[in-house]
Structure 1
Amino acid sequence: MKVKAFVQAIAIAAALAAPAVSFAQSNGPVTRAQVRQQLVQLEQAGYRPGDGDQTTYPVPIQQAEARVARESAVSNGYGGVAAGSSASGSRAVPAPEAAIPGLKPVYFGQ
């Protein structure tokens, strides 16, 4: 009887631990050199961390991050905005019932 309770406890613990393991980060810690390089990129994009302007805090860094992302997308060849248009999200017009052979209304003949 104790073995059955032990097996059930292990199964419950494994079920509760599975989501925590599945959402673990796969990338490693960021080094000082990487942080310094990111800060240099942001400063080159126009962000000044020590200018003392705290009234519009998130806006300047977000703008600088967007500039860095655009520049890296251009240099990498990935991302960016493609010229042209797309029909995604447009409503599809269904075919009339008469145009589909063998299709009859649900209440046909009543």
Structure 2
Amino acid sequence: MKTLLVTLVGAIFSVSALAQQPARNSDPSAPKTRAEVKADLKAWLAAGYDPNNWWEYPMNAQRAGRIVAAQRAQGVQPQ
């Protein structure tokens, strides 16, 4: 009986803890963490985006965005 009660209380606390965590995957408009922003910038730079190249600004940003989106759709983690 005591182990059942301990198991039940543990399950309630774990469900409560999971419910309080932000739902990152279900809400794409949720603000990103600093680590996520840094990872995004790293992925864009690896895809060829150059923030200092203002001559080709809209095109190089759009191209890098398409590359990163395609990699994420395929499940590839940019390095």
Query: What TM-score, normalized by structure 2, do the two folds share?
Result: 0.53
Between the aligned residues of both structures, percent identity stands at 34
1:1-110 equivalences in 2 (<5 Å)? 27-50=29-52, 53-75=53-75
Stretches of structure 2 that go unaligned for 5 or more consecutive residues are 1-26
Stretches of structure 1 that go unaligned for 5 or more consecutive residues are 1-24, 77-110
Residue 75 and residue 58 in structure 1: after superposition, are their counterparts in 2 closer, same or farther (change >3 A)? same
Q: Deviations over 1:78-104 (max 9, x none)?
A: xxxxxxxxxxxxxxxxxxxxxxxxxxx
Work out the CA distance in 1 between the residues paired with 2:42 and 2:30: 21
Between structures 1 and 2, the one with greater helix share: 2
Divergent runs of 4+, >3 A: none
Q: Deviations over 1:47-73 (max 9, x none)?
A: 1213xx212211101100100111111
Query: What TM-score, normalized by structure 1, do the two folds share?
Result: 0.40
Equivalent residues, number: 50
For CA contacts below 8 A with separation 6 or more, give which structure has more relative contact order. Answer: 2
**Which protein shows a greater Rg?**
1
CA-atom RMSD, angstroms? 2.1
